[in-house]
A = this chain, B = another copy of it.
Amino acid sequence: MISRQDCLALDAKDPLAACRERFALPPGVIYLDGNSLGAMPRAVPSRMQQAIEQEWAVGLIRSWNDADWYPAPQRVGARISALIGAKPNEVIVADSTSVNLFKLLVAALRLRPGRKTILGENGNFPTDAYVASGVAELCGVQHRPVAPAEVMAALNEDVAVLTLTHVNYKSGQTFDMAAITRRAHEVGALVIWDLAHTAGAMPCDLNGCEADFAVGCGYKYLNGGPGAPSFAFVAERHHEALRQPITGWHGHAKPFAFGQSYEPAPGIDRMLVGTAPQMGLFALEAALTAFDGVDLQQLRAKSLALTSLFIRLVDQELSEYGFGLATPREDGLRGSQVSLTHEQGYAIVQALIARGVIGDFRAPDILRFGFAALYLSHADVWDAIALLKDVMSSGDWQKPEFMAKKAVT
């Protein structure tokens, strides 16, 4: 039997415990939704105030040079590169994840002319499937989503590009990035990895896996704030040949020469399109300081400890309430989240939120709990389970206010 005391003992020897102070978290809340919107790093408000009241209000247009706004997409990209096993010149911040995926899918098809398939998996995050279908229609190829277990077998010489999310948004299960990338390359296919639930949650070795392309999200485990801009990774060996389709001026070799014909910028810069979303970049850059000095292996160890603890406490405390487990028990197959299943999942999540434990619901029956190891403790896990047990034993989730659907779930 695991006790709350055991959890406190684990917290006492947690090498990352002090990182919690880098975040502003409201009292009375256990935040298990950092996989949807990361908590606010304390470094953000003062940076935003400086950027707005000094750089914008006083510096005005001069700040593009004087406050180094212009190189922010590359500079923030370089910071992120250290979290995902990339080189600083291989990552850039621009647009949204969906837009970056669109750019890379078209670019990948252009690198594999004649091949007619975008391969995917049928449990991928919807936007990845929607964007792939849209690109397939636009470019006259097929989008073929297969079951996760069939991805390896479906890789053949008709596949131009495979697009997968490394950690599944519903189950938290990981794909084997190294093995899949290797197999894809054996048949001459390229791979785009969506790192939405990877970057900042666990280490990832893009270059160790010889990855081609990746996209990822700024507002989940990177804590960049609502709608933070996305990042894109392009392996250096693809830079020269990459032709993405949204040919805006910030991806031009000489944007301020104002010439009339497009010439792609050298390197990763050609992934840029319009003027960079500086408000989002200010926040994201400040937010990333929360990772300063953090050992990613320690982060991974703590994340696995928290998710494993949560699973064991579900077994120990909640066995009578009909929850299923949608996340692998095996550490090597798990990202940084645990998903339970329950027919009444939506209402249970709402009742739990009302008690201060914030997770989220994913249709049709997933209760999703994300564990950001920088700001959560083992005692938080204990307390979350205790409150979930209280929701179930009280039957509170049956109240009408918890059954009513909201616009965003």
Chain A interface residues (CB < 8 Å from chain B): 24-26, 29, 31, 33, 36-37, 39-40, 44-45, 48-49, 52-53, 56-58, 60-65, 69-71, 95-99, 102, 106, 122, 125-127, 129-131, 133-135, 137-139, 145, 219, 225-230, 245-250, 252, 255-262, 273-283, 353, 358, 360, 362-363, 406-409
Contact = CB atoms under 8 A, between A and B. Distances in A.
A137 to B, nearest CB: 8
A313 to B, nearest CB: 23
Contacts of A62: 353, 358
A133 B45 CA distance: 41
Nearest to A407: B70
B133 A277 contact: no
10 contacts: A24-B53, A62-B358, A64-B408, A96-B275, A99-B273, A102-B245, A129-B260, A129-B262, A134-B246, A225-B278
A32 to B, nearest CB: 10
Give this chain's copy count: 2
Contact of A61 (B57, B63, B360): B360
Contacts of A65: 406-408
A254 to B, nearest CB: 9
Given A256-B409, A279-B282, 8 more contacts: A24-B57, A65-B406, A95-B99, A96-B277, A97-B275, A127-B249, A127-B250, A138-B139
Given A29-B60, A60-B39, A407-B70, A249 B98 contact: yes
A8 to B, nearest CB: 25
A180 to B, nearest CB: 20
